[in-house]
């Protein structure tokens, strides 16, 4: 076997169903000519450390887990400085990034897609230097990503996020506690009181908010920013709900723009979430699009991919 694959698995992701398919996944790679090495994560940050420390020893790195696991693998590969393709087998509770790409929820089918797939370039985000794969967000809905206990996620899966997110949204609106932000997006200034904000490269955010595929190109060097203004009365709240349902981004209660760089002034006590993981707030934030920063192994028929010549 001339090729080697590092499989990084989070054994606690989602309903932990990926564990029972691990032997089948490894066999799939062996049949494709790879010698697999499997490293399970035991704590936060292991995925990044594994990918960073061992990237130069492998031809392919595959992450099995949720969006947080994928985030760690991506960060590790970027930190390593190696140009190595990444495979993603989603096994978490929500898997927003995978949903944006239409990646199958079938673990073994995903392994097959990786060994038979094509390399495709994707943008990655930087939040004051910390890498994220598809979203940086604040406000209502976002805390559910990291505050929902893992045991509840395992039992209820995606529903856990929906229930927790709806609860947060209601509490945020009922408490009338707006978040004042100043944001410069590629030279355009936005300032106001918001209950939610997201800078994303995905058609799905927290499994609750969605964007149509025509609004999102995951390798165009741009991110989409959605801000939801603080409603001052029931009519404005109804307008927000109606606009989100119909994806009417012309609504006066929403801000929706695409940009490469975002300079943000925010309250220090407002926490963020990056790909479902907690990020402490700070007053000055720089969010940047890192164009074509990673390469993923995906089925070649996906029309929205920027396919690259096969170097493997």
Active site residues: 277
Q: Phi first, then psi: what are they for 85, rounded to 5°?
A: -70, 155
In whole angstroms, what separates CA 139 from the centre of its chain?
Answer: 17
Taking a C-beta distance cutoff of 8 angstroms, is the pair 41, 8 a contact?
Answer: yes
16: left (phi > 0), else alpha (psi -120 to 50), else beta? left
CA distance 166 to 270: 19
CA distance 273 to 276: 5
Sequence-distant (6+) residues with CB within 8 A of 174 are none
Could you tell me which of 78, 118, 126, 84 has the C-alpha nearest to residue 101?
118
């Amino acid at each position: 076997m001339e090729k080697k694959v590092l499989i990084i698995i989070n054994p606690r992701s989602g309903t932990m169903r990926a564990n029972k398919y691990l032997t089948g996944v490894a066999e799939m790679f062996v049949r494709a000519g790879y010698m697999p090495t499997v490293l399970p994560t035991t704590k936060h940050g292991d995925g990044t450390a594994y990918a960073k420390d061992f990237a130069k020893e492998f031809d392919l790195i595959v992450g099995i887990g949720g969006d947080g696991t994928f985030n760690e693998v991506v960060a590790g590969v970027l930190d390593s400085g190696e140009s190595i393709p990444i495979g993603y087998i989603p096994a978490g509770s929500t898997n927003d990034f995978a949903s944006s790409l239409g990646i199958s929820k079938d673990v073994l089918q995903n392994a097959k897609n990786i060994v038979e797939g094509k390399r495709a370039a994707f943008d990655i985000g930087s939040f004051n230097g910390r890498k994220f794969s598809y979203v940086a967000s604040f406000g209502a809905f976002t805390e559910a990503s990291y505050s929902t206990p893992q045991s509840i996620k395992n039992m209820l899966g995606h529903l856990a996020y929906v229930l927790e997110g709806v609860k947060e949204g209601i509490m945020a609106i009922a408490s009338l506690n707006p978040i004042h932000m100043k944001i410069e997006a590629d030279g355009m200034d936005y300032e106001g009181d918001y209950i939610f904000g997201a800078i994303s490269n995905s058609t799905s955010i927290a499994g609750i908010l969605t964007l149509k595929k025509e609004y999102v190109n995951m390798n165009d060097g741009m991110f989409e920013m959605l801000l939801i203004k603080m409603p001052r009365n029931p009519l404005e709240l109804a307008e927000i709900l109606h606009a989100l349902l119909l994806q009417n981004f012309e609504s006066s209660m929403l801000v929706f723009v695409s940009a490469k760089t975002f300079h943000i002034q925010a309250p220090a006590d407002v926490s963020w979430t990056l790909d479902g993981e907690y990020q402490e707030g700070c007053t000055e934030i720089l969010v940047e699009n890192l164009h074509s920063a990673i390469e993923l192994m995906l089925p070649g028929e996906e029309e929205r991919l920027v396919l690259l010549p096969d170097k493997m």
